[in-house]
Amino acid sequence: MKILLLNGPNLNLLGTREPEIYGTVSMEKHLELLQKAYPKHEILYYQSNVEGEIINRLQENDFEALIINPGAFTHYSYAIADCLKNISQPKIEVHISNIYKREEFRQKSVTAVNADGIISGFGMNGYSLAVASLIL
């Protein structure tokens, strides 16, 4: 299976950004671990801090399943939500932290309504859980 793992704004800083919330493992290191754990599957990776670039990447439609962590766009990007609505492939929204234990504005996801499932609060393991759920 070809899986697109797409991260939104500031997630390029994983490993150094607020390690008490997001941990100390970089996304590059975690991608290595995912590839080793799921060698039969192709995991494509894309990250952008720009909303339009995320939409453009999603519209390339060159994947069989999607794992998306929209970052801060989770809470207000109706443009990404609309884009997700038009993707027929299975899609899982992932959040490293438990968004329901954070500030009130972070507890609402406008994108989740267009995902098949949500994984929140399991740290970087959330990405592995998402892959596992997609390949079952």
* Mean pLDDT value across residues 3-13: 97
Summarised one tens digit per residue, pLDDT across range 41-57 is 999 999 999 999 999 99
Summarised one tens digit per residue, pLDDT across range 13-72 is 999 998 988 889 999 999 999 999 999 999 999 999 999 999 999 999 999 999 999 999
pTM: 0.94
* Mean pLDDT value across residues 96-113: 87
Contact 48, 57 (CB under 8 A): yes
The whole-number pLDDT of residue 101 equals 83
Q: Label residues 68-106 b or e (16+ Cβ within 10 Å = b).
A: bbbbebbbbbeebbebbeebeebbbbbbbbebeeeeeeb
Q: Which are the catalytic amino acids?
A: 22, 95
